[in-house]
Amino acid sequence: MCRNIRVLHNFEPATTDEEVREAALQFVRKVSGSTKPSRANQEAFDRAVDEIAEATRRLLDDLVTKAPPKSREREAIKGRERHEKRMEREVRLRTASA
């Protein structure tokens, strides 16, 4: 999965429409292979972002869970810890192969 797309379900406070749109934009950028579409493709690109954001919002609104809500701060810490472990692994691999 693209590392820039984050889990949006079950947060307190609830996921905002802006967060949903940002995730949709990241998805469309990844799928299209373009961070900024040409003028000829702008309408299709924007329409895809809108449709994916709408579908994502419906999904999030319909999901049910008994798990306690997640904290954005705690999830950010866990993400940084995962990143640090990945970087440590890469450094070990580079020095082992050198």
- Please check the confidence at residue 98 and state whether its pLDDT lies above 90: no
What the block records as the tokens of 32 is 């299209």
**Whose CA is closest to 48, among 68, 33, 63, 64?**
33
Q: Sign of torsion, CA 17 18 23 26?
A: positive
Domain regions of the chain by residue span: 1-67, 70-98
Assess contact for 24 and 52: CB atoms under 8 A: yes
pLDDT digits (tens, 9 = 90+) for 53-91: 999 999 999 999 999 999 989 988 998 999 999 999 999
Q: Is the pLDDT of residue 94 over 60?
A: yes
pTM more than 0.85:
no
Taking only the tens place, the pLDDT of each residue in 15-41 is 999 999 999 999 999 999 999 999 999
For helices 39-62 and 17-32, the axis angle rounded to 10 degrees is 130
Residues paired with residue 11 on neighbouring β-strands, in sequence order = 70
